[in-house]
Amino acid sequence: MNKLGLQLDHKLLAHIQGALDYSPAAIIIAAAPSGEILYVNEAVRKFRGHTDSPLTGIQLEQYMMSWKEFDANGRQLSSEEMPLGVAISQGRAVDNQEIIVELDDGSRKWALASAAPIFDDDGEIIAGSVIWYDITERKQLEAKLKQEADFDCLTGVFSRHRFMESAERILERFQRDYQSMSVLMFDLDYFKDVNDYYGHAAGDEVLRSFAGIIKRGVRPSDIIGRVGGEEFVLILQGADLDIGTRIGEKLRSEVERSAITTDTGEVSITTSIGVSSPGILQQQIGHFPSLDELLANADAALYEAKHKGRNRVETTLACF
């Protein structure tokens, strides 16, 4: 190669080196099979929070001792399972794997990692490279959006969408294993009057307090969702219609005894409750009820409770 060609090669390598050095993506290159780190860029140091520590020349395992890596499900990865370890030890590429990195200060970050082996002319693995992007902010935003989608922001109980998803799974399990369950549908009596007299801020406080009473009165395995303005639905797992009715009466009594303090005065409320159970409903309609049928049956019972004067618990059979 002539002198000009060598100069161009050196300039090209220097340009590539500069591009790697200032890339926003973190890059590590390590030798195989020794694991000696050959190259790291500034983004790696920033990701770790150590901008002045020397990294090249040390062993990969020694470097990795300063952090732990986990897969997206929270399972800790061994050094051979880490993306760079896979490239070096197995000669396999890893494409866009989401990992959780726990740094030496205990903090955790999310990264999107890709790794690839580097082969010599004889096809032997001589090194491996990994490149990853810090996606912590994106994952935090995703978690925030999921929280907002899954939970009612006012009361903290399941949103309608999340409740219906969970209820479908519970009903499928009930049908498969024939476990007991019951559905309770709640409606706050004369809630519009509360809003009109005390104001909407007080109405919001009433809804929060009501949801709190229900949550405190049931088990963690039971699920409650807000499915309308002042309508809530509770699924009691392992509770037949009789038990569900008794629990409904207990909750109705707790609500009736409550005195909710708001900025515009103390508010007393009552609730009407309709109770349904798939086991009893199946006997009456001749087939296993769908979730819609089960909820319609509970809603019919709720209507009956309102029709009979409110502040009561009712069970009934809806006509299908």
pLDDT digits (tens, 9 = 90+) for 73-97: 999 998 889 898 899 889 999 999 9
285-318 tens-digit pLDDT = 888 899 999 999 999 999 999 999 999 999 975 4
Phi, psi of 98 (to 5 degrees): -80, 125
Contact 144, 193 (CB under 8 A): no
Share of the chain above pLDDT 90, in %: 59
> CA-to-CA distance for 68 and 272, rounded, in angstroms?
53
CA proximity to 27, closest of 38, 12, 14, 15: 38
Q: At 53, is the pLDDT very low, low, confident or very high (cuts 50, 70, 90)?
A: low
Strand partners, 261: 266
Positive/negative CA dihedral, 47, 52, 54, 59: negative
Contact 113, 119 (CB under 8 A): no
Positive/negative CA dihedral, 248, 294, 194, 204: positive
Active-site residues, by number, are 230
> CA-to-CA distance for 207 and 188, rounded, in angstroms?
9
Higher pLDDT, 242 or 36: 242
pLDDT (average), residues 117-144: 90
Chain mean pLDDT for the chain: 87
Give the gyration radius of the chain's Cα atoms: 30
Amino acid at 232: F
Strand partners, 131: 27, 114
Q: Which residues of 201-222 are buried (b: 16+ CB within 10 A; e: fewer)?
A: ebbebbbebbbebbeebbeeeb
Domains plus CATH for the chain?
A: 3-141 (3.30.450.20), 151-315 (3.30.70.270)
Strand partners, 315: 275
Can you give the pLDDT at residue 68?
Answer: 86
